[in-house]
């Protein structure tokens, strides 16, 4: 029987810096990001920059991706970076799980988090920039 080995995509320093920079750009544009973190989606074997905003719930994901696209344009970054972004509402299960364990305030941090169960959610891998009390209230 053949054995299949899946190699996990690494979260690079470039990706970590890009996530922090994009979060700052959205802050400067006035787009409220209550949680921002890289999240490893094991089903797809890839990292996604999760951006949680109450505006996703009120205005919809199209407006969120438009705000991200505008921030990418401001940074002179390619729109292909959108493929690595997932805009979600603060009540997303992963956001809620992280909010039950972390409160960074509105600063941008860099907290690695691996192989933990929080609030009945398994977090394989994450790199946390921000989880505010607003994300916990969702």
What DSSP assignment string belongs to 55-119?
HHHHH-HHHHHHHHHHHHHHHT--GGGGGGEEEE-TT-HHHHHHHTT---TTS---EEEEEEEET
| pLDDT score for 42 | 83
Give the angle subtended at the CA of 48 by the CAs of 42 and 52, to the nearest 5°.
120
| pLDDT score for 76 | 96
| pLDDT score for 117 | 67
| pLDDT score for 7 | 61
Q: What is the pTM of this model?
A: 0.89
pLDDT of residue 26 exceeding 80, the answer is: yes
87: buried, middle or exposed (CB in 10 Å: 19+, 13-18, 0-12)?
buried
Per DSSP, what are the bridge partners of residue 51? 36, 87
How far, in Å, CA of 121 to CA of 123, rounded? 6
| pLDDT score for 123 | 76
Mean pLDDT of the residues in the chain: 89
Quickly state the pLDDT bin for 4 (edges 50, 70, 90).
Answer: low
Q: What average pLDDT does range 104-125 have in this prediction?
A: 82
pLDDT digits (tens, 9 = 90+) for 31-71: 999 999 999 988 888 999 999 999 999 999 999 999 999 99
């Amino acid at each position: 029987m053949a054995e299949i080995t899946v190699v996990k995509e690494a979260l690079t320093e470039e990706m970590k810096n890009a996530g922090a920079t994009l979060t700052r750009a959205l802050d400067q544009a006035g787009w409220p990001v209550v949680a921002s973190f890289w999240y490893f989606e094991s089903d797809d074997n890839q990292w996604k920059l999760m951006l949680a905003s109450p505006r996703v719930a009120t205005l919809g994901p199209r407006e969120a991706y438009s705000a991200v696209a505008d921030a990418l344009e401001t940074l002179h970054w390619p729109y292909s970076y959108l493929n690595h972004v997932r805009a979600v509402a603060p009540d997303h299960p992963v956001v809620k799980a992280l909010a039950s364990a972390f409160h960074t305030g509105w600063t941008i941090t860099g907290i690695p988090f691996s192989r933990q169960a929080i609030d009945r959610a398994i977090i394989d891998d994450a790199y946390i920039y921000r989880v505010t009390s607003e994300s916990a209230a969702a």
